[in-house]
Amino acid sequence: MRKPLFLLLLLLAGCSAATRYTINVNVLSFIPQNQRSINIPTGYYLVVYPSLEGQQVPLPISMDILEQGQISIQGRLTNTGATPMNGSYEIRLAPDSDTNLNDNSGGDVGLGSTNFSVAAGQSSNINTTVQLSASQNSAAYNIIKSGSFRIALKVEANSNGGLFELTGARVSVTGRPFAVIK
């Protein structure tokens, strides 16, 4: 009788209110392989990718106490035209209930805005990482705290044509799954 009780206490000691979990969500795995690139036509072009509704991302467990988060986007821009391709991209984040990630209403926010310029016939890698906490990008931090949210990438370009390929998209959160009364 003492041995099972001892084992139970040992297991419970490994999971306390101070235990922190880090959840890494591969957002790219939600997007089908054939939808991970955007053809950029000639002229001015604006797209919210993968769609205006964004990609819904449910966290596998909820965190009562979210300490920090991070969003990372990787991709490749290829200029297929004869003139420079200039533009910008921005990570868009919204509560699960917001289905238009480009109207700045309903709770959607933009973060990590980055400009690019790719010479004719050249390619350029993009890599953006945004830190989230109660004091850094707090609006996005509060959206992720809800446990289910939407994410998208807004791309604007002026060019003779090109291609944008999304090669990585991750959301990482660290926190505790339950709060304790102190």
Q: What is the pLDDT, as a whole number, of residue 146?
A: 82
Q: Does 88 reside within a domain?
A: yes
This prediction's pTM: 0.82
Whether the pLDDT of residue 114 is over 90: the answer is: yes
**Helix H or strand E segment including 89:** strand 85-95
Which domain covers residue 96, as residue numbers?
A: 17-176
How many structural domains does the chain have?
1
Q: Does 93 reside within a domain?
A: yes
Q: Does 157 reside within a domain?
A: yes
Q: Does 5 reside within a domain?
A: no
Q: Does 182 reside within a domain?
A: no
Q: How far apart are CA 54 and CA 133, in angstroms?
A: 22
Tell me, what CATH number does 126's domain have?
A: 2.60.120
pLDDT in tens, 60-111: 766 667 788 999 999 999 999 999 999 999 999 999 999 999 998 889 999 9
Measured in Å, how far apart are the chain's first and last C-alpha atoms? Answer: 33
Q: Does 1 reside within a domain?
A: no
Q: Does 112 reside within a domain?
A: yes
What band does 23 get if pLDDT is binned at 50, 70 and 90? Answer: confident
Q: Does 4 reside within a domain?
A: no
